[in-house]
């Protein structure tokens, strides 16, 4: 986007992309191997050796030359000359014999097939030695050259890039890092400051409230959202009164020590909605204000003076939930150094519903039923937190469309 052009009534996707365009990944650091899970790779991981490191057996059984095997179901036995110990160099395979091998054990030189033991009748060596003999059960297939052997380097060759930059160290990624002893640099955690505006707000654990006071739900919700992102951390959380100067000061202090500032409330048309002006006073550049979405039309997004993401979410609690998932997550992922700011796009079928259409991008709290479809949850507007409490995520319904017409994007 051109600098200074304020987007208004665009789609949430366009708004999120416009903020992401102004952000860069945070710096990187090295952490101990045990601290890697959940972090985002800032450097590629390469294979330090071939995987597997040798031709290995894929089965518990016997390594042999396929041509040495007697016919299945016959009386002839094949001698077992010994055993390959896992993790050790195998003895050579004598002609006309088999070697016992276990899954992952190296295939001895001379063997061209592995036969799983359940296809065989096994006879132990008298006296408890590691030898013995085998013959093929009736109905077992004859050995096939190459079967049940994993070839050296078939997963990866030494020097191959096995993980690119910008992926999160999920359990599967951790498995790969461990297999190759790789510990690439990772992005430091994204530092998130939370600011909750509203004169009516009191602590979430307040036992007694003034008659028209409200417990702050948005602060805990925003903190819980960040707590669910292993590559981000909350660095400060503050409640701010509906006062322009106090809001400016609080945003300025948030910007000093964070990569992202998440705010709730104070972004619509009220006389006491100070967040957009306070952000500007604190040196931020507005990117969007008011979006074609429900809930969350008043959403405000800006870039901080040092490239921070600044996201002003409307005060209604369901708007906060939607704004976190739809607008905040892409910005935080961009800061965290993900290759793609948008998480993978998932689509779900939507159960038949009230067929309501809106001229906006509609995010409906929904629950995945036992039928595998998303069932929109009844709720009384974006101030109703009890109704959506059972939600698994939001179904996105584009402007003018009925929810169940086709599979819909799913924001969990
Ligand atoms: N003239 C207009 N008025 C409103 C519009 C509009 O377009 N024109 N939009 C409405 C929509 S949609 C929303 S959403 C709200 C958002 O307004 P704000 O972001 O300025 O939020 P507040 O006015 O501060 O609060 C709205 C509502 O949410 C409650 N709230 C606020 N913070 C918390 C909190 N931390 N925990 C629990 N509840 C909170 C607050 O008490 C209000 O009830 O504006 C509409 N108005
Ligand atoms: O869109 Mo507001 O965000 O309905 O509650």
Q: Is the pLDDT reported for residue 3 higher than 60?
A: no
Last residue of a domain, one of 336, 357, 381: 336
Quick check: is 7 in a domain? Answer: no
The pLDDT tens digits of the residues spanning 102-152 come to 999 999 999 999 999 999 999 999 988 889 999 999 999 999 999 999 999
The pLDDT tens digits of the residues spanning 82-91 come to 999 999 999 9
Q: Is the pLDDT reported for residue 15 higher than 60?
A: yes
Q: Is the pLDDT reported for residue 33 higher than 70?
A: yes
Give the DSSP H or E segment for 218: helix 218-227
Q: Is the pLDDT reported for residue 41 higher than 60?
A: yes
Indicate whether 318 and 376 sit together in one domain. no
pLDDT of residue 354: 78
Q: Among all ligands shown, which has an atom nearest to the Cα of 382? A: 2
364 C-alpha to center of ligand 2: Å?
12
Going by alpha carbons, the residue nearest to atom 4 of ligand 2 is 295
pLDDT of residue 4: 61
Indicate whether 312 and 372 sit together in one domain. no
Indicate whether 193 and 332 sit together in one domain. yes
pLDDT of residue 2: 44
314 C-alpha to center of ligand 1: Å?
6
Quick check: is 1 in a domain? Answer: no
Last residue of a domain, one of 312, 336, 360: 336
- Let me know: does 141 contact 204? Beta carbons within 8 Å: no
Average pLDDT over residues 368-389: 92
Indicate whether 87 and 109 sit together in one domain. yes
**Residue 226, class by beta-carbon neighbours within 10 Å (0-12 exposed, 13-18 middle, 19+ buried)?**
buried
Last residue of a domain, one of 308, 336, 364: 336
- Let me know: does 215 contact 243? Beta carbons within 8 Å: no
Q: Is 269 in the pocket of ligand 1 (CB under 6 A)?
A: yes
Q: Is 297 in the pocket of ligand 2 (CB under 6 A)?
A: yes
Cα(26)–Cα(187) distance, integer angstroms: 6
pLDDT of residue 405: 86
pLDDT of residue 321: 97
Indicate whether 38 and 117 sit together in one domain. no
Indicate whether 99 and 230 sit together in one domain. no
Task: State CA 121 to chain mean position distance.
Answer: 47
Indicate whether 47 and 62 sit together in one domain. no
- Strands 232-240 and 190-197, sheet pairing: parallel
Q: Which residues pair with 191 in a beta bridge?
A: 233
- Residue given tokens 């509906």 in the structure block: 242
Q: Which residues of 334-363 are buried (b: 16+ CB within 10 A; e: fewer)?
A: bbbbbeebeeeeeebebbebeeeeeebbbb
Cα(399)–Cα(11) distance, integer angstroms: 10
Q: Is 242 in the pocket of ligand 1 (CB under 6 A)?
A: no
43 C-alpha to center of ligand 1: Å?
42
Indicate whether 124 and 224 sit together in one domain. no
Indicate whether 214 and 312 sit together in one domain. yes
Q: Is 299 in the pocket of ligand 2 (CB under 6 A)?
A: no
Q: Is the pLDDT reported for residue 207 higher than 80?
A: yes
CATH number, domain of 258, equals 3.40.980.10
Indicate whether 382 and 309 sit together in one domain. no
Q: Is the pLDDT reported for residue 239 higher than 50?
A: yes
Quick check: is 6 in a domain? Answer: no
Extended beta strands in 245-327, E state: 260-264, 285-289, 293-294, 300-303, 309-313
393 C-alpha to center of ligand 2: Å?
17
Q: Is the pLDDT reported for residue 401 higher than 80?
A: yes
- Let me know: does 252 contact 195? Beta carbons within 8 Å: no
- Let me know: does 162 contact 46? Beta carbons within 8 Å: yes
Structural domain that includes position 109: 56-150
State the complex-level ipTM.
0.95
Average pLDDT over residues 240-255: 97
CB atoms within 10 A of CB 217: 16
Cα(57)–Cα(148) distance, integer angstroms: 6
317 C-alpha to center of ligand 2: Å?
9
1: confidence class by pLDDT, cuts 50, 70, 90: very low
Pocket test for ligand 1, best of 265, 326, 388 (most atoms within 8 A of CB): 265
Q: How many domains does the chain have?
A: 4
Locate the ligand 2 atom nearest the alpha carbon of residue 294 and give its number. 1
268 C-alpha to center of ligand 1: Å?
7
- Residue given tokens 């992309």 in the structure block: 17
The pLDDT tens digits of the residues spanning 160-186 come to 999 999 999 999 999 999 999 999 999
Q: Which residues contact 58 (CB under 8 A, 6 or more apart)?
A: 103, 114, 148, 149, 150
Locate the ligand 2 atom nearest the alpha carbon of residue 319 and give its number. 3
Q: Which residues pair with 135 in a beta bridge?
A: 121
pLDDT of residue 380: 86
CB atoms within 10 A of CB 146: 12
Indicate whether 23 and 101 sit together in one domain. no
406 C-alpha to center of ligand 1: Å?
32
Indicate whether 358 and 401 sit together in one domain. yes
- Let me know: does 101 contact 55? Beta carbons within 8 Å: no
Q: Is 265 in the pocket of ligand 1 (CB under 6 A)?
A: yes
- Strands 161-163 and 113-116, sheet pairing: unpaired
Quick check: is 342 in a domain? Answer: no
Cα(24)–Cα(308) distance, integer angstroms: 9
Quick check: is 341 in a domain? Answer: no
Quick check: is 215 in a domain? Answer: yes
Q: Is the pLDDT reported for residue 359 higher than 50?
A: yes
* Main-chain phi, psi angles of 175, to 5 degrees: -60, -45
Quick check: is 390 in a domain? Answer: yes
Locate the ligand 2 atom nearest the alpha carbon of residue 293 and give its number. 1
């Amino acid at each position: 986007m051109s600098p200074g052009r304020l987007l208004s009534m665009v789609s949430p996707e366009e708004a999120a992309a416009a903020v992401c365009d102004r952000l860069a990944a945070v710096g990187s650091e090295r952490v101990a191997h045990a601290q890697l899970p959940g972090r985002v790779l800032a450097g590629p991981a390469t294979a330090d050796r071939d995987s597997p490191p040798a031709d290995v057996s894929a089965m518990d059984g016997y390594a042999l030359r396929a041509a040495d095997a007697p016919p299945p179901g016959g009386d002839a036995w094949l001698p077992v000359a010994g055993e390959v110990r896992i993790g050790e160099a195998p003895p050579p395979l004598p002609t006309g014999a088999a070697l016992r091998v276990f899954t992952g054990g190296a295939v001895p030189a001379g063997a061209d097939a592995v036969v799983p033991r359940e296809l065989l009748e096994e006879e132990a060596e008298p006296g408890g030695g590691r030898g013995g003999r085998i013959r093929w059960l009736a109905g077992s297939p004859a050995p096939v050259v190459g079967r049940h052997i994993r070839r050296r380097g078939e997963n990866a060759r030494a020097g191959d890039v096995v993980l690119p930059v910008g992926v999160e160290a999920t359990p599967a990624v951790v498995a790969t890092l461990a297999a190759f002893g790789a510990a690439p640099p990772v992005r430091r955690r994204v530092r998130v400051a939370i600011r909750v505006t509203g004169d009516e707000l009191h602590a979430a654990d307040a036992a007694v409230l003034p008659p028209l006071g409200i417990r702050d739900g948005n602060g805990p919700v925003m903190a819980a959202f960040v707590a669910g992102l292993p590559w981000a951390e909350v660095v400060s959380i503050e409640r701010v009164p509906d006062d322009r100067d106090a809001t400016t000061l609080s945003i300025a202090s948030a910007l000093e020590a964070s990569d992202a500032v998440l705010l709730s409330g104070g972004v619509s048309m009220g006389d006491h909605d100070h967040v957009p002006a306070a952000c500007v006073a604190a040196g931020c550049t507005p990117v969007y204000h008011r979006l074609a979405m429900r809930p969350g039309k008043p959403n405000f997004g800006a870039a901080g003076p040092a490239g921070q993401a600044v996201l002003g979410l409307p005060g209604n609690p369901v708007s906060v939930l939607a704004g976190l998932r739809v607008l905040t997550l892409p910005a935080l992922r961009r800061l965290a150094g993900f290759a793609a700011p948008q998480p993978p796009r998932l689509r779900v079928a939507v159960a038949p519903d009230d067929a309501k259409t809106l001229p906006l991008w509609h995010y409906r709290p929904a629950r995945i039923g036992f039928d595998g479809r998303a069932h929109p949850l009844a709720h009384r507007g974006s101030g109703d937190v009890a109704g959506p409490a059972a939600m698994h995520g939001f179904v996105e319904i584009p402007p003018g469309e009925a929810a169940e017409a086709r599979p819909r994007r799913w924001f969990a």
